[in-house]
Structure 1
Amino acid sequence: MRKSRIALLALTLAAANLAVPTGPATAEAAPVTVTVNARAGLDNVSDAAYGVNHAVWDTALGTNAVADLLKDAGTQIMRYPGGSYSDIYHWKTNTAPGGYVAPDTDFDHFMAGVQRANAQAMVIANYGTGTPEEAAEWVRYANVEKNYGVKYWEIGNELYGNGHYGSNWEADDHADKSPAGYATVVKQYAQAMKAVDPTVKIGVVLTTPGNWPDGIVAGGDAGTWNQVVLQIAGPSVDFAILHWYPGGSNGPEALSKTAQVTDAVWLARQQITKYAGKNLGIALTEINTGYGQNTQPGALFAADAYASLTAAGVFSVDWWNVHNGIGTVSTVAGHTDYGDFGMLSSANCTADGTVCQPAFNTPFGPYFGLSLASKFAPAGAQLVRAAASDPLVKTHAARKPNGDLSVLLINEDEANAKSVTLSYAGYSPATTAQVAGYGNGDTAITTASGTATSVTLAPYSLTVLTLHPTAAVTGPAQPARPAASGVTATDATLSWPAGTAGLKYEVHRQNGTITEQWGETTGTSFTVHNLTPGTRYTANVIARDGTGKVSWASPPVTFQTGTPSAAPCAVTFADVNDWGNGYVGSVDITNTGTNPIDTWNLAFTWPTAWQQVSGGWNGTWTSTGAAVRVSNADFNRTIAPGATVNVGFVGAYQGPNVLPALFTLNGALCTTR
């Protein structure tokens, strides 16, 4: 990302006080209802979920003061040596030719800070100007000589930015800068590094669905970056690396971007399964917001993004950056925003000296977003479904290993407080609750006592309710994530490993915050019938013992049903030329029946709100919201049995480009090929 390539030549200390203006009084809006369903389980929180980035040009890297601040915020993992610097950095000499490296930022200083914070490391091996041998020596030094136990190793940073697709910000000395060239050498890195320490986990750089250059096929390539990299390197690596800077020019726009998380992770997993042929963990090792980086939008976005991505099964989310430096100064929600992508103040000033940041290491808004998110759902917790009746109130919920349940409430209304009532399914809370909050302009998290069923959210605020159970109940162990197989248009079989003897297993489908029980069995598989074609389903398994005690819901499985194999029509929908936020779409319509089709209308619905048709040909295209219809032109009005007509369009998207799954021709459901 562009901000990760800007080096701070030095971080200067400045003595400044962080003012806390008092906002205007606001009236409460209409009551909001929040529903939490502890039976609708999402993913478990890993021990590397809450991360940050460190950079070797940061003079405070590895210091006790920074380590202590990050520890207090619940940071579990720290990434090093810093974005695009990773591809020019040489660990042995602590140098980055062409860039600035601050004193005392070498690997040992970094690890001292990691250890002081009781965190772990995410290390980026130099791909751009390094070698597999240099990376293997780093593994040997870290894990054999020093016993640091560094588990996660990335191979390079944003190598799709090496000029192969036209944009060139990432150093890459290799003659072959294609995805095939990168993937081939990644295999050499993985082999060399694992020969030193077989326990290390190797990460490979992918493009994030819906973000440039995802979907683009460059000249001479056999497919997109992700397709080629996964096909070649997938069998040799252990996790996929994504970066996400979703942007946004104002608060509502920036804060809406987390709605893309579910589809982005879904598409990434689909690509991984299809092209790598195995499951890879997903780490999102750089993220930041596009608006209000230091103020309340940054805090709200950070908390929401950490929770949303963790719920989707991303095992590590690493904020860019700890210190970054002053950028474009503005006023956001009544407070000065320094345009600084750091969590902590760098205490530097604008070029003309008219505006200076607060004292060095003063926490900015995202720091408190991280802190509340890590307290809301610590390692070992499981996210569960929660929803609010007001679109300006986002909510997440988590079951904790100690039996507590937490609810994260995000009020994105800058002007109005929200009166919230809460209800719970699958969990019986005690009456009282602990309440932690962070409001617009606050300099610390506040704590108070409250109730489990109601709370008032200040405007533009974060609130975490921590609830205790009415009685401690120990049920069976949480089942493992089920797997889906034999998926057709209407059927699917779910299977899971056996638990202890004598258990029954309930199989539940998630429908928002409602769970619908498909059935139960004493076995370890269950076949579901009468499903809707072309539909994405999410399901859990819950174990129940002979006394009626139940387990936590398993982590979810998500699968999509197909379309009928026998239908009067077939449709092939293809993205034939993509440029990162738009593409040329080709749609083949085949008459698979025995009679000619005279006059036709093809209809489909976009899966997301950020997709649209910009224009089309070979038919008359119309759109109403997400619904799209194309009717025949005069020259292709008739489709003979076995014949195919083609229509095309220009599509646009501003997020993950999930292709439609269902098409109807004159009202009849077609086979999607």
Structure 2
Amino acid sequence: MPRGRTHRRSRTRRHIVAGTVAALLAGAGAGVLALSANAAPTVDITVDAGTSLGTLPSTAVGLNTAVYDSHLNDTTASALMKAAGVRQLRYPGGSYADAYHWKTHTLEDGGWVAPGTDFDHFMATAKKVGAQPIITANYGSGTAQEAADWVKYANVDKHYGVKYWEIGNEVSGNGYYGSKWEIDKHADKSPREYAKNLLAYAKAMKAVDPKVKIGAVLNTPGSWPDGAKAPGDTADWNHTVLAIAGKSIDFAIIHSYPSASSTADLLNSPAQIAGVTSAVRSLLNTYAGAHAASVEIAVTETDSTQSPANTSQAAALFASDTYMNWLEHGAVNVDWWDLHNGMGKAPTTVGGETDYLDQGVLSSGSCAGGHCEPARETPFPTYWGIRSLTALARPGDTMVKASSAKQSVAVHAVRTRNGGLNVMLINKDPQNSAQVWLSYTGYTPAPGKATTVSYTKGGTALSTTAQGTAGGQTLPPYSITTLQLKPSSAATPADAPSRAATPDTAAPVAPASGTIGTRAQATAAGPPVSRPEQSNTAGGLASTGTSNAVTYGAIAGLLALASGFVLVLRVRRSRASHGR
């Protein structure tokens, strides 16, 4: 449950290039080169295809589902999830998991669950999608025996082969540190008690199926209540839990909801991920013993709802960027919250777009404050941000190092299993196009126009076209563009493409047609979606570190310019209500 350098040489180079090109044009009698003061800024991108940041796991792209979702099993939703490359589904839904009794399909204290969302129906949907399940066992109001019985039913009786099992959801939100959003019926709510019970759950569940993987709930480093100590404690939650149970777990669970006061802050927040994963890995190295390297990290909840953008374009850009940053830094799974969720209050306007303040990637067709969402199962931009990942990578592909000279453009790159190289470029500027020049080591792309798959503001689909080259592209404002490159037949390891041609500008994608209609009442039942605020002690946003090692194809660039190119210058969120 969610809760909660400008390069001086660049400027100099532009003046030198402009002067040189002007001289070339004058000598050839070709006229005068016009310089536009309002044109796209230039950004240098480097891709080191000879490196490896790891292989993309089959569990990489995940999504949360919940037993309160009346539309969990909609055929359209299943088809959209499959098309988006979702390969892991989390169930039964955040904080609801600590109240859910799987045998009776009921919630502790009589909470509401939607018909047809029981475990077997969920597994049928997971099979349609082609996704592995990750199950959150009931720690808050359940027992180790109840969890072991679930493993037996799933893997022995039904042969579902469920591998990943979390023991509880955000258990430290049980009131032990003052703030309470998580059900926990244990008399002792300390991290010591959780660790002791975690061992009991793991023993009982593995006695049924030794192949299951058991996950421990940790606090995300840098986010409250990480570092907090209750009276009498000598260590915080993470150190206490791992000191007791670290040698008996198979994966560590963290949740990430970046707190951002602006869309710019949101889009820069993935820079924090490297530090978070490093801190978790350090804890595991300290406490997990000889098998520390094999203990995985799973980000089983994340989204952008601690920022102004929930369903608008900035959230889509954040989705692509945050998935890849987590995966590049060692996470085996990232699960977005949520499939459907519904509006909590009247929509807002973000960057000229309606933002429905919905944590789902698909509309539930709900209404709030006299306003209604689009028709049920309409994909929000966040859906397209996640689906853009299908153009970049598939399970088994190798993530490689890539860097951008400016924070305004994010880059991710993948070597495909068939010998290709895909490069995702995210222009985070809401107003301006970006002119990017790319250089490569360890790979020589084929010449000619590059195949690109793009998602732009207002789009209702991914757009595939041939435009620009491997060496140069123009990125529309607030866009995701993925280059799908093939190797040059004459490539050698030392070859690198130059700025051989003027990049084409991507054709604009037509905005969504139609208007939002009114509805007599919300069509999605479920819990309220607002949650009480809680304190947030996370620090400020980190800046993105980028490499200065850029290869310039100056001669090829001058030829392109001489042929007619115009150089262009220019408190954690609340937790109670969505059932997490």
For Structure 1 versus Structure 2, the TM-score category normalised by the shorter chain is 0.7 to 0.9
Q: Which residue, out of 285, 301, 312, partners 2:300?
A: 285
Q: Which residue, out of 316, 324, 328, partners 1:299?
A: 316
CA gap 1:609/1:457 in 2 versus in 1, 3 angstroms: closer
1:268 partner SS: helix
Which residue in the other structure is 1:165 paired with?
A: 177
Output the CA distance in 2 between the equivalents of 1:474 and 1:158: 51
Q: Which residue, out of 557, 571, 581, partners 2:537?
A: 581
Unaligned runs of 5+ residues in structure 1 are 5-25, 476-578, 584-605, 611-652, 655-673
Which residue in the other structure is 2:480 paired with?
A: 462
Which residue in the other structure is 1:317 paired with?
A: 334
Are 1:118 and 2:130 an aligned pair? yes
Output the CA distance in 2 between the equivalents of 1:467 and 1:86: 43
Is the Cα contact below 8 Å between 1:62 and 1:111 reproduced in 2? no
User: Which one-letter code corresponds to 1:408 in the other structure?
Assistant: M
Are 1:414 and 2:430 an aligned pair? yes
Deviation (angstroms), 1:64:
2.1
Q: Deviations over 1:392-446 (max 9, x none)?
A: 0111111111111111100010000111121110011112422011111111111
User: Which one-letter code corresponds to 2:96 in the other structure?
Assistant: Y
Which residue in the other structure is 2:41 paired with?
A: 30
Output the CA distance in 1 between the equivalents of 2:424 and 2:359: 24
CA gap 1:83/1:314 in 2 versus in 1, 3 angstroms: same
Output the CA distance in 2 between the equivalents of 1:148 and 1:426: 42
User: Which one-letter code corresponds to 2:409 in the other structure?
Assistant: V
Is the Cα contact below 8 Å between 2:54 and 2:330 reproduced in 1? yes
Q: Which residue, out of 140, 148, 151, partners 1:136?
A: 148
User: Which one-letter code corresponds to 1:372 in the other structure?
Assistant: S
User: Which one-letter code corresponds to 1:297 in the other structure?
Assistant: A
Which residue in the other structure is 1:188 paired with?
A: 200
Mean alpha-carbon deviation: is it higher for 448-457 or for 192-201?
448-457
Tell me the TM-score normalized by structure 1: 0.67
Output the CA distance in 2 between the equivalents of 1:378 and 1:474: 26
Q: Deviations over 1:200-236 (max 9, x none)?
A: 0010100111101111122222311010111111111
User: Which one-letter code corresponds to 1:283 in the other structure?
Assistant: A
Kindly tell me the number of residue pairs found equivalent between the two proteins. Answer: 464
Unaligned runs of 5+ residues in structure 2 are 5-36, 494-534, 545-570, 573-580
Output the CA distance in 1 between the equivalents of 2:215 and 2:492: 37
Deviation (angstroms), 1:474:
13
Deviation (angstroms), 1:390:
2.4
Which residue in the other structure is 1:89 paired with?
A: 100
Output the CA distance in 2 between the equivalents of 1:2 and 1:158: 9
Deviation (angstroms), 1:384:
1.2
Is the Cα contact below 8 Å between 2:56 and 2:327 reproduced in 1? yes
Identity of aligned residues (%): 48
1:395 partner SS: strand
Counting only pairs closer than 5 Å after superposition, residues 148-163 of structure 1 correspond to structure 2 as: 148-163=160-175
2:383 partner SS: helix
User: Which one-letter code corresponds to 2:333 in the other structure?
Assistant: S
Is the Cα contact below 8 Å between 1:31 and 1:418 reproduced in 2? yes
1:36 partner SS: strand
Output the CA distance in 2 between the equivalents of 1:92 and 1:336: 41
Counting only pairs closer than 5 Å after superposition, residues 33-52 of structure 1 correspond to structure 2 as: 33-52=44-63
Which is bigger in relative contact order (C-alpha 8 A, separation at least 6)?
A: 2
Higher strand share: 1
User: Which one-letter code corresponds to 1:434 in the other structure?
Assistant: T
Deviation (angstroms), 1:40:
2.8
Counting only pairs closer than 5 Å after superposition, residues 540-619 of structure 1 correspond to structure 2 as: 581=537
CA gap 1:472/1:287 in 2 versus in 1, 3 angstroms: farther
Output the CA distance in 1 between the equivalents of 2:537 and 2:222: 7
User: Which one-letter code corresponds to 2:274 in the other structure?
Assistant: T
Is the Cα contact below 8 Å between 2:272 and 2:541 reproduced in 1? no
Are 1:243 and 2:259 an aligned pair? no
Are 1:402 and 2:413 an aligned pair? no
Deviation (angstroms), 1:250:
1.5
Which residue in the other structure is 1:592 paired with?
A: none
Q: Deviations over 1:181-210 (max 9, x none)?
A: 001001010011101111000101001111
Higher helix share: 2
Mean alpha-carbon deviation: is it higher for 134-143 or for 93-102?
93-102
Is the Cα contact below 8 Å between 1:154 and 1:202 reproduced in 2? yes
Q: Which residue, out of 281, 304, 308, partners 1:269?
A: 281
1:315 partner SS: strand
Output the CA distance in 1 between the equivalents of 2:492 and 2:72: 44
Output the CA distance in 1 between the equivalents of 2:337 and 2:412: 23
CA gap 1:187/1:97 in 2 versus in 1, 3 angstroms: same
Q: Which residue, out of 61, 67, 70, partners 1:56?
A: 67
Is the Cα contact below 8 Å between 1:214 and 1:580 reproduced in 2? no
Counting only pairs closer than 5 Å after superposition, residues 584-663 of structure 1 correspond to structure 2 as: none
Which residue in the other structure is 1:495 paired with?
A: none
Deviation (angstroms), 1:38:
1.0
Is the Cα contact below 8 Å between 1:293 and 1:365 reproduced in 2? no
Q: Deviations over 1:169-191 (max 9, x none)?
A: 10001111000100100101001
User: Which one-letter code corresponds to 1:281 in the other structure?
Assistant: E
Output the CA distance in 1 between the equivalents of 2:318 and 2:241: 31
Are 1:258 and 2:258 an aligned pair? no
Which residue in the other structure is 1:69 paired with?
A: 80
CA gap 1:28/1:607 in 2 versus in 1, 3 angstroms: closer
Output the CA distance in 2 between the equivalents of 1:338 and 1:63: 21
Q: Deviations over 1:20-54 (max 9, x none)?
A: xxxxxx95312222111112321221100000000
Output the CA distance in 2 between the equivalents of 1:48 and 1:378: 11
Deviation (angstroms), 1:472:
10
Output the CA distance in 1 between the equivalents of 2:209 and 2:118: 22
Is the Cα contact below 8 Å between 1:178 and 1:221 reproduced in 2? no
Output the CA distance in 2 between the equivalents of 1:65 and 1:220: 53
Deviation (angstroms), 1:582:
7.7
Q: Deviations over 1:56-76 (max 9, x none)?
A: 000011332211110000001
Deviation (angstroms), 1:608:
5.7
Is the Cα contact below 8 Å between 1:231 and 1:275 reproduced in 2? yes
Q: Which residue, out of 379, 388, 396, partners 1:380?
A: 396
Is the Cα contact below 8 Å between 2:65 and 2:91 reproduced in 1? yes
Q: Deviations over 1:83-140 (max 9, x none)?
A: 0000000001111134210000000110011000111000000000000110011011
Deviation (angstroms), 1:386:
1.2
Which residue in the other structure is 2:215 paired with?
A: 203
Q: Which residue, out of 326, 330, 337, partners 2:343?
A: 326
Is the Cα contact below 8 Å between 2:223 and 2:538 reproduced in 1? no
Are 1:345 and 2:363 an aligned pair? yes
1:39 partner SS: coil
Which residue in the other structure is 2:550 paired with?
A: none
Output the CA distance in 2 between the equivalents of 1:118 and 1:425: 36
Are 1:371 and 2:383 an aligned pair? no
Is the Cα contact below 8 Å between 1:3 and 1:341 reproduced in 2? no
CA RMSD of aligned residues (A): 2.3
Is the Cα contact below 8 Å between 1:44 and 1:313 reproduced in 2? no
Q: Deviations over 1:122-173 (max 9, x none)?
A: 0000000000110011011111111111110000000000000001110001
